[in-house]
Structure 1
Amino acid sequence: MPYAVVARYRCEPGDAELVRGALLEMRAHTLREPGNLLYIVHADTSDSAAFTLYEQYVDRAAFDAHTQAPHFAEHILGTVRPRLVERSVSFGEVL
């Protein structure tokens, strides 16, 4: 059963362009992962420092592999997360 992730991020306004660029770079890498089905990055229309990611993987193991990828360490752990002031992540199975 496909595994879905919804992540909501908010950074300081001065970091928004850096975070946006890292998320778009992450999207390019993730879409090439064999277990990835979907990786959509949304920019909030009322808050330029807020982003929502919607991701789907073939299963939980594919998501776990995603979190171990070098591009995850570089872009998410190294660039995005240190700049976040808010972060929430939800996980679920696609029905």
Structure 2
Amino acid sequence: MSLTVIAVFDAARGKEDALRTALEAMIEPSLEEPGCLAYQPYVDPSRPGNMVIIEEWTDRAALERHFGTPHFQHVARELEALLSRPFTLRHLIGAGEASPAARR
């Protein structure tokens, strides 16, 4: 069962371009990681400071390894100066993969 992650970022005023650059720099090294199936940043056209990365990983262990990589550690430090608030993560699985209890 793969794991889809939605990461939401809100840029601090005037930091929109720097945030976009930092997130785009994560694409290539993340896609090269074992277990990374997809990694794509998006920008809200009506709110350019609001950005989302939609990621897909083979499993939670692959995602946890991602958090320990040098490129993730680097961007995490950069984000401290670029965001108006901490980013959020949502972990999702396919609806057909959820247990009956999780669907309630």
Letter in 2 for 1:84: L
More strand by percentage? 1
Asked if the contact 1:57–1:63 (Cα under 8 Å) also holds between the matched residues in 2, the reply is yes
Report the counterpart of residue 30 of structure 1 in structure 2: 30
Compare relative contact order (CA 8 Å, sep 6+) and give the higher one, 1 or 2: 1
Q: What displacement does 1:88 show?
A: 2.1
CA distance in 2, matches of 1:74, 1:36: 18
Structure 1, unaligned stretches of length 5 or more? none
Length-normalised TM-score, structure 2: 0.83
Report the counterpart of residue 60 of structure 1 in structure 2: 60
CA distance in 2, matches of 1:82, 1:64: 23
Structure 2, unaligned stretches of length 5 or more? 98-104
1:39 is aligned to 2:39: yes
Letter in 1 for 2:72: F
Letter in 1 for 2:83: L
Give the number of aligned pairs: 94
1:2 is aligned to 2:2: yes
Considering only aligned residues, what root-mean-square deviation do their CA atoms show, in Å? 1.3
> How is 1:8-19 mapped onto 2 (pairs within 5 angstroms)?
8-19=8-19
CA distance in 2, matches of 1:22, 1:15: 11
What CA deviation, in whole Å up to 9, does each residue of 1:21-66 have, x standing for no partner? 0100011110111110000100110111110110000000000000
Identity %: 28
Length-normalised TM-score, structure 1: 0.91
Report the counterpart of residue 84 of structure 2 in structure 1: 85
Q: What displacement does 1:4 show?
A: 1.2
Tell me which structure has the larger Cα radius of gyration: 2
The 3-state SS of whatever aligns with 2:77 is helix
Letter in 2 for 1:12: A
